[in-house]
């Protein structure tokens, strides 16, 4: 549908609910949910790591998934937040933009989905991990899995792996930014291809349950770890240098 048709389309109830009301209900749920969780369950704000129970699959699956999803998040930022007109003003044509981003996007999507599949396989097959998987975790995995699988599908659809290819920067991205500036353009999203609509709905539902799941750990990544001194482990015996004043924590822990 071309833009003039979109503007002329009568707003339908489904369009208003899905693409105008739902995004704000989700935002409100996420903000109030996170505040509530932090105030009432501060000590439950954790990944609930299962590394203790199984390491060999986790060692491959976890970095694959986490580095993949970080690249996917960067891709969402680039694709949804940077208007097409900006990249064109920099002399980057739509064709060049796609030639540069499609291989990165497909690789990121593949790492994420393979990592996710391995994490689910591990959770299902390692009894000690399965025993520590709550109903809430299972619900979260369904929502996360839906968003990821539909995301990879739209990525294939956008790049023309199946279908004829679609430039989502002209509809989905325009809707996304219109919501953020509180001038929601629901009609443009209602006219986007169905796979994009389903993926956006799955994404919003995931955001809505986010505060009530272990995904809250995303907001407490220990970035200070990158700049802190190592944890220095020392034996209990008295230090051989005797009365020397202790220094800041970069010294090697072994005594020669």
Tokens 């025993």, residue located: 131
Near ligand HEM by CB under 6 A, which window of 104-112, 118-126, 218-226, 248-256?
A: 104-112
Residue selected from 58, 154, 174, 209 as contacting ligand HEM according to rule CB under 6 A: 154
Helices 194-209/22-40 angle, 10° precision: 20
Residue selected from 61, 147, 187, 216 as contacting ligand HEM according to rule CB under 6 A: 147
The rounded distance, in Å, linking the Cα atoms of 45 and 156 is: 35
Residue selected from 50, 105, 178, 185 as contacting ligand HEM according to rule CB under 6 A: 105
Near ligand HEM by CB under 6 A, which window of 48-56, 69-77, 229-237, 238-246?
A: 69-77
Q: Is 72 in the site for ligand HEM (CB under 6 A)?
A: yes
Least Å from the CB of residue 240 to ligand HEM: 52
Q: Half-sphere exposure (CA, 13 Å, Cβ side) for 165?
A: 8
| 60/146 with CB nearer ligand HEM | 146
Q: Is 79 in the site for ligand HEM (CB under 6 A)?
A: yes
Q: Is 115 in the site for ligand HEM (CB under 6 A)?
A: no
Residue 136 contacts residue 215 (beta carbons within 8 Å): no
Q: What is the distance, to the nearest Å, from the Cα of residue 82 to the centroid of all Cα atoms in its chain?
A: 18
Least Å from the CB of residue 106 to ligand HEM: 6
Near ligand HEM by CB under 6 A, which window of 43-51, 101-109, 133-141, 229-237?
A: 101-109
Least Å from the CB of residue 185 to ligand HEM: 13
Q: How many residues bind ligand HEM (CB under 6 A)?
A: 25
Distances (CA, A) of 169 to 9, 34, 79, 80, 184: 20, 30, 7, 7, 16
Binding mask 17-56 for ligand HEM (x = CB under 6 A): ----------------------------------------
Residue selected from 37, 122, 166, 199 as contacting ligand HEM according to rule CB under 6 A: 199
Task: Enumerate binding residues for ligand HEM (CB under 6 A).
Answer: 72, 75-76, 79-80, 105-106, 108-109, 112, 147-148, 151-152, 154-155, 158, 168, 172, 176, 199-200, 203-204, 206
């Amino acid at each position: 549908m071309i833009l003039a048709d979109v503007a002329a389309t009568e707003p339908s109830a489904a369009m208003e609910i899905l693409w105008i009301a739902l995004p704000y209900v989700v935002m409100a749920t996420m903000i109030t949910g996170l505040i509530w969780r932090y105030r009432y369950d501060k000590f439950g704000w954790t990944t609930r790591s299962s590394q203790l129970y199984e390491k060999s699959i986790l060692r491959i699956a976890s970095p694959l998934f986490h580095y993949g999803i970080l690249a996917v998040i960067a891709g969402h930022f680039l694709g949804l937040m940077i208007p097409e007109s900006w990249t064109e003003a920099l002399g980057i044509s739509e064709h060049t933009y796609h030639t540069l981003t499609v291989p990165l996007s497909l690789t990121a999507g593949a790492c994420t989905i393979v990592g996710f599949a391995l994490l689910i396989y591990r959770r299902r097959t390692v009894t000690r991990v399965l025993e520590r998987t709550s109903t809430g975790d299972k619900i979260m995995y369904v929502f996360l899995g839906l968003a990821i699988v539909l995301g990879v599908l739209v990525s294939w659809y956008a790049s023309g792996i199946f279908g004829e290819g679609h430039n989502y920067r002209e509809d989905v991205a325009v809707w996304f930014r219109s919501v953020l500036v509180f001038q929601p353009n629901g009609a443009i999203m209602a006219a986007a291809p169905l796979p994009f609509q389903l993926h956006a709905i799955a994404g919003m539902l995931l955001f809505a349950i986010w505060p009530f799941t272990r995904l809250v750990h995303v907001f407490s990544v220990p970035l200070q770890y990158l700049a802190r001194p190592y944890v220095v482990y020392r034996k209990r015996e008295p230090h051989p240098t005797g009365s020397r004043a202790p220094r800041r924590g970069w010294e090697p822990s072994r005594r020669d």
